[in-house]
Structure 1
């Protein structure tokens, strides 16, 4: 069968330009007929097989109709870091979700039989049951995900709330309300502790931490008890100093305890020290990475292991920093070279961004995608799809697998009535007052100082 470039693009779920580029580079065999390129379907199939090309999957139901003993659903699945860790603990999802085409390809490469759904803002309760292949009314035991979040407002022109990211966070809360899982997990960045929200027409700045205050009130109105904290992934065995807010909501009156750490920075509390970058990448052979721009590459040689721009000779610093020289703050992420003897800093979505450099400890290059994956705890055989930059992005956005494992272990222990005490006074992160009790106390104190609000002004539903 002969296919046009448009027909090939449709089959590959790609752009016409992508197909034309393949033809121009002689990667895909094609014949010119008049002014049109024609591709034989046999040649297309051969190219797909030879290049192990993964076609973005459409939404589809789970292949099995068997109802597992415990039903788990994953949302905002991405590269799957949260899912891998939860599965190691015994919480295996039967339905996964993402709207990003490369994440969906990654999902297709690693999850062969699970249901897949897309846009959370359009999902109904019936959609979830249909794609999960579950009878209506089946109890959902566990639901987890990291919805993007930013400031939102219900006042005036609904600034912020109209933004799809704010909407997605609210929609995820509403999904929890409709599905009523026995346990629900919300993972988010540290900024969730301070993201503002506006709840009336008198206020134009918003309540600091208002989004989280709303989430707490909404979840409690649905019958959940809620616990949360800001956790450094290094305290749970990840060779990375990444801090994330983890909220665990449980139906009923007894809230879930904080996560149980497995490591500490200096070996305190009788725990092993933090795992290091050197330990994580030991024995790694494949290394695919982006190149530094030439104008910045020449400065890397001046930065020793564990150093940054301040390690350069004084006469080089200003030249290397350029316009960034006048920026406020310590600027410690500029020309930052990792140390083999420490955990990596938080992985970002691109390793050569000037303010968040991630330079290899001993080689003049950025970290590779394989090193990214090791740091985040992905198995070496985990298949992450997309271009090099798209793979960096997916891994950089993921939840570290060891942190996810700690979440799953805590929930399973609670669900099975197993006592798993945490460590009193353990410093989960470098910040204070980040647990649900102290954070909410401070947030409400600030709320009561506002001329625009009292605690009753926070709605239970938007």
Structure 2
């Protein structure tokens, strides 16, 4: 079958005029070659461009098994897959990502663009374990790894902390229920730090203290995580976890995420093996920097700051934020936010060349979470976002630019994904080793399962309502 199309055939596939198709060829949006007065167009280029169109729907479909690949590779099922940042790392560790489950329209298009042979499903709440296994072409208990990062807004310290009293929280519980039924050898759960302290049920503060009942386990800090751990323990899974800074695994970004590793055989998994350290301790290389991440980038597609903000950026150097402005200008620059609490370090923030990027957000030009280039008067470009989150330059992103930023900003860095995949692969091959016992994985205390469990138990003995895990 020919891999090239005529202008007329390409136009029919795209649903546009031949004239517009020729324009796409001239602009190099489509891969095409001109022979005399005739264009021949690469059919895959046409297909991918069609998928990228805003109204294209990526349909559910089963896995296509490529028998020319490594049929002995361990198999992983991915849930809440997003743009597949975590999956890329796990894939690099040697896993076959047989299935991706993702509801977001643009993420689904991105998955189809880059991994068309991977089974694709939508809203996790609409599928049974049997349907998932059928789509992945697998038998029960034959899955090596299930991995997922359930929507974090229900647990984020920046939100209302609704835990499981939220549709997104219910998706978390559906994920756990599916894992218990599918029974993978290993289950990995990725989430935000807020999961460590979020209650399962939130009791208003005006209903605590003298005259009110003591907080139940579900109402205590960490109650949501305790509930999940109890479900998995009852199903025979052991769970170990910690809060990991992705910079310690080679990511040019200080992004912290909770990683829970659950084992079907009940054996306790060791912590992830770091590959870098902040100052080069433990004989490891120092953290990767922003300048290392973006080296060689030639073109940049980016949003723009409003002109009134550029007035202040023009006075800031690499690594500075609003605090480096003249004192008389600081209040003017921040407006009412100047009087709010907290460090406000995200306002008018230029990145440093010689440090990792701060945690990427879903929009680099929002006033309180600016991510500006160290020298140029613009937000980080989508190309820089991809480098920081360690997506290949060739990784295609569907949707408008703001949706592309959102997809990459929500992703798990590939190096952290690789550390997860390598640990699970080593556990499957019975050769996993523990990292140095004194390695500092994050800047916070009491974030490992050992310390967290002790703090949760101590909380039950503490006078109420002055409860604090951290």
- State TM-score, norm by structure 1: 0.83
From the superposition, tell whether residues 161 and 193 of structure 1 become closer, same or farther in structure 2 (CA, over 3 Å). Answer: closer
**2:219 alignment partner, SS class:** coil
Asked if 1:100 is matched to 2:130, the reply is: no
Deviation, structure 1 residue 302 = 1.4
Contact 1:238 1:402 in 2 (8 A): yes
306-315 or 63-72: bigger deviation: 63-72
Give secondary structure in 2 for the equivalent of 1:94. Answer: strand
Give the Cα separation in 2 of the matches to 1:360 and 1:70: 40
Residues 254, 359 of structure 2: 8 Å contact kept: yes
Q: Secondary structure, in 3 states, of the residue corresponding to 2:96?
A: coil
- Distance change in 2, residues 1:50/1:227 (3 Å): closer
Q: Give secondary structure in 1 for the equivalent of 2:81.
A: coil
Alignment size in residue pairs: 409
For residues 151 and 394 of structure 1, what CA distance do their matches in structure 2 show? 18
Deviation at 1:416, TM superposition (A): 0.6
Q: Does 1:148 align with 2:151?
A: yes
User: Residue 245 of structure 1: SS of its match in structure 2?
Assistant: strand
The one of 359, 373, 382 aligned to 1:369: 382
Pick the aligned partner of 1:237 from 250, 260, 263.
Answer: 250
115 and 391 in structure 1: CA distance in 2 versus 1, 3 angstrom threshold? same
Distance 1:151 1:341, change over 3 A: closer
Q: Is the counterpart of residue 49 in structure 1 residue 46 in structure 2?
A: yes
1:297 maps to what in 2? 310
Q: How much does 1:49 deviate?
A: 3.2
1:78 maps to 82
Q: Residue 423 of structure 2 contacts residue 432 of structure 2 at CA under 8 Å; is this kept in 1?
A: no
Change (3 A) 1:448 1:170: farther
Residue pair 2:83, 2:107 contacting (<8 A) in 1 also: yes
Query: 2:94, 2:425 within 8 Å by CA — same for their partners in 1?
Result: yes
The question of 1:388 aligning with 2:401 is answered yes
Question: How many Å apart are 1:50 and its aligned residue?
Answer: 9.5
> Is 1:182 the equivalent of 2:180?
no
Where structure 2 has 5 or more consecutive residues not aligned to the other structure, the ranges are 1-12, 23-42, 156-161, 204-211, 466-470
Aligned pair partner of 1:172 in 153, 171, 175: 175
Structure 1 residues 120-129 or 333-342, which shifts more? 120-129
1:428 alignment counterpart: 441
Match of 1:194 among 194, 197, 200: 197
Give the CA deviation at 1:161: 3.5
Where do residues 155-304 of structure 1 align in structure 2 (5 Å cutoff)?
Answer: 161-198=164-201, 206-304=219-317
Q: 2:364 aligns with which of 327, 335, 351?
A: 351
Deviations 1:398-457 (A, max 9, x none): 0000011011111111111114231111010001111110111101211343779xxxxx
Match of 2:142 in 1: 139
2:338 maps to what in 1?
Answer: 325
SS of 1:302's partner is coil
Is 1:119 aligned to residue 131 of structure 2?
no
1:62 matched to 2:66? The reply is no
Structure 2 contact 250–288 (Cα < 8 Å) conserved:
yes
Is the 1:151–1:197 contact (alpha carbons within 8 Å) kept by the matching residues of 2? no
CA distance in 2, matches of 1:346, 1:150: 16
Pair 124,306 (structure 1): closer, same or farther in 2 beyond 3 Å: same
Give the RMSD, CA atoms, in angstroms: 2.7
Task: Indicate if the aligned counterparts of 2:75 and 2:145 stay in contact, CA closer than 8 A.
Answer: yes
